[in-house]
Chains A and B, each alone.
Chain A
């Protein structure tokens, strides 16, 4: 027995001292069940695509490999997400967390698991403005832009269109509230009067009372910060029926082909914003993803970038220890340095091992600002002829 203990201890010492060529584990915590379960398989596959690319290059930390370990965030259940993250860290010994996805569980995992254990986490899709100010010990980053940024962009669009006053309605949850607050404060700063900001509940049959209140407040346009197949659609339909508003402003939750299909011609002339970029990297990533059999959907590019940033930072620090590489993430993501596009992770690893600087551009034109969140490129859309068209990128 004693011998066995000694041998085990010896083996453990040997293993930890063998810094060269280890198997680095990265936790993939996404809502594989729950409200966004249709998006997460693509997101996870994109992140794992980057990990495979790095492993296959053979240049990562002296020939180390990367293994993803999946956990279920459920998107809505903070306790379940924290338990899954705890398991990944304590029993699977992951070095970093790629995730979580929804804003609520991401905040919970950060506070309950990542900070106490000192593990870096990069979320590809949490957009709540509240996460910008969260205490994170420099461990939390995200490749998705905050909704606060979208409010800013939307206010710019409104000002350019010459809107003087607008009514605002939002879906009654964290996303809707955060986005509405940001739109309101930015629009008012730009001199646009918000005549009313009222919430609506999703899943109701009748929105005529809500529209009645919005119509009484009046405004040039109606901003609908909701969901396109939920209350947002009901509000727009009801407003058009009553002749209350003619132009609608659509933030990201409302942009999708099913909306003009459901509403018809009444939506023509409405406009909005959604995260998006026309950069070279986006095209390259879409091709890579298609080859790998991944459906191009929301947040797949952000997922690839989040996973890539984790591994590039590890390479830059020469260590897979969160405490060592957490300070390198901003360095590899931003200028100066050679620009790195999707599919060029091998080249990036080589440059880093030579001690050179890189500027990771990736699929979504990554530029981390503030407390480590994507500055975000937005696509301004216009509904024209029953279709969503791109007006410009900003």
Chain B
């Protein structure tokens, strides 16, 4: 019983939040890694792309709600998601046309692309704030919980409850679907295979008749779609505020680099590694230990390794360690 209580406690405060957060990071990191694999630069505008796509989803949701359309216990945002994705895709393709294509034609250095993406990031961030403002927008209607902590306590008879929010369930489910679909696309379809070929060896792929502009087009569509889905999931689960997507950029890049830049499976693994590290390191284990320690021993302190303010610092430390020890990441991506 004591062990079960400890497990319930850990699930409620550590495992479930980390799973949801890890899924959001994985979706974000997939977009970053795809762009890196195909266009060979770190796209700093990805976080703001998430904010823009999410904003479009929110605007469409407001419209749907005004029409009285809803999805029952699921949030209406899911219905608005395809249109939000479309808006983000159009923005990404427009940006590529105006900014990146010019540099591709000139065969610019990756660092030029990177700086250009920084400028694009500022442009996107201004655009998002210009349209929806800087304030918090609460997202998500429908049922808030799949089950609440109290319901779980009554059902299981344990002292500790587990709450599972609808948004957390949706986030994990959507991530599974997206990742499965993406891997199917990359491994089974002709377009996906040509993308992998282009990513592995550009010259050979060109000699084999792969159309580079088409590969780039698909990469942007996928990246924009993933960004919008990741941003919407994060907004649904937490809250939408343009600024937080800028803050998310660091853990997302950390996830992509830890997993191995350019490696989709690495991006997913990296997302979960970063999420679980951030939360396990800053978690206070006092009550967990109280349950599992023999006798009536109660630890005096909170048994917390790092204060929660240092959550983002954890991503930094992992990033530095990985770059020093294994620059290609866990799954042998390209070295940075």
Contacts and interface: CB of A to CB of B under 8 A. Distances in A.
B193 interface: no
A218 B302 CA distance: 10
Interface stretch (B61-69, B70-78, B82-90, B283-291): B283-291
Interface residues of A, number: 27
Interface in B129-169: 136, 138, 144-145, 148-150, 161, 163, 165
Interface string A200-229: 110111101111110111100000000001
A234 interface: yes
B334 interface: no
B241 A205 contact: yes
A76 to B, nearest CB: 17
Contacts of B145: 241
A240 B13 CA distance: 12
A196 B12 CA distance: 20
A208 B283 contact: no
A242 interface: yes
A353 interface: no
A242 B241 CA distance: 22
A205 B13 contact: no
A204 B244 contact: yes
A79 B287 CA distance: 48
Interface string A14-40: 000000000000000000000000000
Given A206-B238, A242-B163, A243-B163, A212 B13 contact: yes
A205 B239 contact: yes
Contacts of B138: 262
A242 B283 contact: no
Nearest to B152: A243
B330 to A, nearest CB: 24
Interface string B11-34: 011100100010000000000000
A217 B286 CA distance: 7
B189 interface: no
7 contacts: A172-B309, A205-B240, A206-B244, A212-B279, A213-B304, A216-B288, A243-B161
Interface of A: 172, 196, 198-201, 203-206, 208-213, 215-218, 229, 234, 241-244, 262
Interface of B: 12-14, 17, 21, 136, 138, 144-145, 148-150, 161, 163, 165, 234-235, 237-241, 243-244, 247-248, 278-279, 282-288, 302, 304, 307-309, 311
